Each structure stands twice: as structure tokens, then as C-alpha cells.
Amino acid sequence: MPYLDVIGPSFSFTSAETFAVQDESWYADSPVGPVVLRYREAGDLLRDRRFDHGGEHYLRRNGVDGGPIHDWFVPMLTNHDGPEHRRLRGLVQRAFTPRTVEALRPFIHAQAVTLADGMAGADAVEFVDAFADRLPLAVMCELLGVPPEDYDTFSQWTGDIGLVFGLANGGDTAARVERAVAGLDGYVDELMDRKAKAPGDDVISALLAATAEDGLASRDEVRNLLVTLVFAAHDNTKHQLSNCIVSFAEHPDQWRLLRSSPQLSDQAVDECMRWRPSGGNLFRRAVVDLELHGLEVPAGTFLTAAVLTAQRDPRAYPGGRVFDITVRREAPLLQFGAGPHYCLGAALARTELTEALPLLVSRFGPPSLPPEPLPWRPALGTQGPEALPIRFAATS
């Protein structure tokens, strides 16, 4: 089988080498096990009930067998299946409804306008700090009822906790995640106490009310759900916003096209998420010995769905190796998962993007990147630039 060094410092899931392997085979071997490169097989993996998330086993193979990371990650919603997963997911769904998301739209728009105003007239901006980090952070804090004065405290923690899916990258990754988990656990605990005494119109108050009413979850479970929601609502969307800007900087004609044809906005958001998803790869663990498209998979084996690669698979997306907002893509995105574990925050992320992107396009000319390479997160885990210094062209 072909081999891809997915933990190598220069590896990219969208390199010519990776696409050449995708053309040759639906999967490749790697230091972390088989990596699924094609859309159909990746979708099958994500929907196959013979696989789970294997949270504790994932941590163990990356050298974590106790401590704050273990105590948060193993009981996390995504690491449950069957009745336990339905119980916890149902609790979140009761507090995090489509109506809740839609009610946030005016707040999202107002925040995006304020942040765009802050960038107007600047010769150059650091987009992550000026916009991509701040918008989902403010939305997440509004959703949970976090006071504005605590936004900055949250920012570092919610960025670092998402590195848990890149523990195989080594370095100081585990230490950063551990500090973030400890910080968020303590803060959320304190926030829950405040909301119990003085409930508000927010998700924490709704979760606490639901658990008090029917006892569906313990306090520890509610705290775990909230910490998980915090990083999911902030870190992934932050990187997706940045990834959108990078994609348009590499295709300025598409930015100009969207400016002249704003009716393409929803389609452009979908194309941005397809082309450069922040959820760049997802892993699953075989629960039993099985066969997947002719591959013998022993129980306990981890497979990684290379979402970044699979979402450009021309078998699923004709012409899929070209970024084109005028094409209506039929195949659903993979980055939000599939089946019972489909991401609860997908609607919120899409709402933020559909408010932010048209506003930016209407206010600014196409973005351009600096000549030096951007500092990207490693290939495994949440994908996006750590910093994004750009210049917006003048509007005509």
C-alpha cells in the first residue's frame, strides 16, 4: 500500500503527492494507521457502527492514561454510543435548538459589523486576532452567558483545548491541552454556580434547568458537555473563518465574483467548507475484527478519514480539485461527521459564516497573503493558520 507520513512537519493532505495516492488507492498506510483518502469510503467509515471514537484508547496510544485530559476526554459526548450517547445528546439538543441558533443571528451580524469596522482603513490586519478569533468567541460567550470581561480569559483555553485531536504531533501539545482543560473546568464550574443562583436566557441555565427537572445528567456530565461545547463552538469556527479568507486570497477572482453576485453567498460558504475544512481529519476505532472495502481491520485499529483530501475527491465532486463558488455540489460535507454523531454545532457554524462572509465581501476588496509561508497547525487535528496577516484590496 502507499505510505503517507501524516505527522511529518511538511506533510499536507492537499499536496500533489497526496492526491496522486488518492488516485491510486482509497487508503494509505501512515504512522497512525490507515488513512482513508476517498469520499465514499470516508463516509462509509464515519457511518459504520462497527467503529467507535475509542477515546480512552486514543489517549493511551498518545501517552495519556490519566489526569485532566483523560478525565475530560474519555466521558466526552462523542466517546459515548447507544443509549448513553442518546441521553446526553438529547439533553444538549433541548437547550441548543434551531430556534436558539436563529435567535443569535442579529447578535452575530452586529458583532461582525463591529469587527469589520475595526479593520476598515487599516493598511494590513492580522485576521485571526482581528476577526476570526473574536466573532465565534463572542457568539459562544453570548450562547453560554459568559460576561464580555471574561472573553480574553476564554480565548487561549478554547484555542488550545482543540489540540487534543493532534496529540500525535508531540511537542508541547499535551501540556497546552492539559492547561486548557484545567482552566475551563474551573471556570465553567464557577459559571454553573452563578447560573444556578441567577438563571438567565442562555444554554447553561437551560441545561441546569433540564437536569434539575428530570435528573437526566449529573453535574460532572453537564460540566463536561459545556467544556466540550465551548471549544467546539469557538476553535473550529475560528479556523474555518480563517480558511475561507486563505481560499479567497488564493482565488481573488472568486471574491470579485461573489461581490458582484451576492446571491451566491450560501453556495460560497459551502464551497469554502468543502475546499478547506477546519475539521480536516476524523478518526474512528474498530470495535470488532472486520473488513472494510477489502481491507482487513483487526479490532482496536484506528482509521483516519482524511476529510481535507476526501472533500476534493473528483469521484464525489466532479471538478472537485478546483475552488469554484458557481458550482452547486451535491455530495454532503464530511467535516461535521455523519450518523448519530453528526455535529450539533454545524448549524451555528454555518450561520456565523453566512453572516460574516457576505459582509466582508461587500466591505473589502480581495484579500492577499504575505510572501512568507503562513504558520499552519499540524496536518493532524483542527486545520487552519495560527496567524493570518493579510491586506484587503481597495474596493472599486
Q: How far apart are CA 227 and CA 222, in angstroms?
A: 9
Give the per-residue pLDDT at 80.
Answer: 82
Amino acid at residue number 37? L
List, as one string, the DSSP characters of 86-100: HHHHHHHHHHS-HHH
pLDDT at 368 over 70: yes
* 254 alpha carbon, distance to own chain's centre: 24
Q: How far apart are CA 359 and CA 381, in angstroms?
A: 29
pLDDT band at residue 61 using 50, 70 and 90 as cut-offs:
confident
Higher pLDDT, 65 or 320: 320
Which residue matches cell numbers 482552566?
183
CB 285 within 8 A of CB 54: yes
Q: How far apart are CA 162 and CA 165, in angstroms?
A: 7
Q: How far apart are CA 219 and CA 225, in angstroms?
A: 10
For 89, residues 6+ apart whose C-beta sits below 8 A from its C-beta are 77, 340, 344
pLDDT at 237 over 80: yes
pLDDT tens by residue, 168-177: 778 888 899 8
pLDDT tens by residue, 86-138: 888 888 887 777 888 899 999 999 999 999 999 998 989 999 999 999 999 89
Lowest mean pLDDT among 232-241, 293-302, 310-319: 232-241
Higher pLDDT, 56 or 356: 356
Lowest mean pLDDT among 71-75, 94-98, 182-186, 240-244: 94-98
CB 37 within 8 A of CB 25: yes
Higher pLDDT, 144 or 266: 266
pLDDT at 156 over 90: no
CB 53 within 8 A of CB 84: no
pLDDT at 33 over 80: yes
pLDDT band at residue 384 using 50, 70 and 90 as cut-offs:
very high
Lowest mean pLDDT among 126-130, 189-193, 294-298, 368-372: 189-193
Specify the CATH superfamily of domain 16-392.
Cytochrome P450 (1.10.630.10)
For 43, residues 6+ apart whose C-beta sits below 8 A from its C-beta are 310, 334, 338
Q: What 8-state DSSP symbol labels residue 292?
A: E
Higher pLDDT, 101 or 265: 265
* Secondary structure element (H or E) that encloses residue 197, with its range: helix 173-197
pLDDT band at residue 381 using 50, 70 and 90 as cut-offs:
confident
Exposure string of 243-252, with b = 16+ CB inside 10 Å and e = fewer, is bbbbbbbebe
- In Å, what is the CA distance from 115 to each residue of 23, 165, 198, 230, 363? 42, 29, 31, 21, 12
Mean per-residue pLDDT, 317-327: 97
Give the per-residue pLDDT at 286.
Answer: 96
Q: How far apart are CA 118 and CA 237, in angstroms?
A: 20
- Count CB-CB contacts under 10 A for residue 64: 20
pLDDT at 181 over 70: yes
Q: What 8-state DSSP symbol labels residue 310?
A: H
The cell for 52 is 467507535
First to last CA, the chain: 52
Percent of the chain whose pLDDT exceeds 70: 100
Q: Where are the domains of the chain?
A: 16-392
For 144, residues 6+ apart whose C-beta sits below 8 A from its C-beta are 191, 202, 203, 204, 226, 229, 230
Give the per-residue pLDDT at 396.
Answer: 66
CB 135 within 8 A of CB 356: yes
